[in-house]
Structure 1
Amino acid sequence: MGPLSLLSFVLPILLFVSPSLSTNSEGNALHALRTKLSDPTNVLQSWDPTLVNPCTWFHVTCDRNNHVIRLDLGNSNISGTLGSELGELKHLQFLELYSNNFGGKIPKELGDLKNLVSMDLYGNKFEGGIPKSFAKLKSLRFLRLNDNKLTGSIPRELTKLSNLKVFDVSNNNLCGTIPIDGPFGSFPMESFENNRLNGPELQGLVPYDFGC
């Protein structure tokens, strides 16, 4: 078989295989996440790494190209920590992990999920600060981090998220002042209550994180 004939034979195979290869990397990322979690009610029992892609798993939604676009694990009695592997879900639009027992820090790699529209991490035990990398999530409309154990200040970088419609960090242990630029001018004060925050920043003054 000559070089051209071989190429014409191999190329269609590569074109056929490549979509499953990309989604399999997403499946690998999700399985890596599963290994870190405690799942007493077997919510994740369908997450079988031997399958071609994760689109047949429960609580996972894919688009027509078999890319993971939604992860729904809200109120599933799951505990454990999140790792950098979630940053591999490049097509993810909805990350729903609310009302569980997740702990540890929120991975900065979540800021790599450029297509993310909604991130619900509320009602867990996350600690540490809000990652500044979230400022890269230009499509983000809903960010709910309330009812955790987050500390530090609200990153000023988040004021660049022009599409952000809902932002809730109530019932944490955040400190400093509340930004007023960008979308933060429209969020109700209830979104910030029960923290150690010192109220909105004053117009024209350099923000100062009192007590942080």
Structure 2
Amino acid sequence: MTGDEAVRDGVRAGERAARRLAELGVCVLEPGLSDAEFDRIEAEYGIVFAPGHRGFLAAGLPVGRAAPPEEGESPRNPWPDWRDGDPDVIRERLGWPVEGMLFSVEHGCWLPGGRWGQRPADPAEAVAAARAALATVPRLIPLYGHRYLAAGAGKAVAPGRVVLSVVGADAIHYGRDLAEWVEREFEDPGSDRAWPEPAAGDRVPFWSDLAG
């Protein structure tokens, strides 16, 4: 698949996911983001949406649950409101994957196999070393709760197909693309179904390694 074909494929998957989300009625959907809004958001937060993520948000912008949270669910809105949301909240959510990983490092986590070298004995030094290493990995963009897509690397590149669930040092592949993620998240939650792993070329450096 060429780069242009991968971009188109990613956009189509995002659009399919948005249509299915609307059919399921599980969230409040506003009109999708315009090109001007994408430009503003990407400039404000220093991010680039991957093609599939862009196609998803252009087809319809999820801004909240369709029903109040159930007992035991967090009252916090799981959907980032890219249009009207509090910028501080969005920046906080953009930082969750790295900050969660650093919290795990502070409490003893360290990558095996020497990928980060030998762990410093001092926890603060270990966190500093991990922070420097994490500055080189793909940035994750919040999708829903603790689900993420990798950031794009320019409009001619199509990373960010795979949906990841990341909490601290725990990561799971939650869909090979957005359309599969919607099915798993909202149509078949809690199922013990064995979901296929992403193709080697779709894995997200570092984060997919955490997922196994």
TM above 0.5: no
Higher relative contact order (CA 8 A, sep 6+): 2
More strand by share: 1
What TM-score comes out, normalization by structure 2 length? 0.22
In our comparison, the structure showing a higher alpha carbon Rg is 1
More helix by share: 2
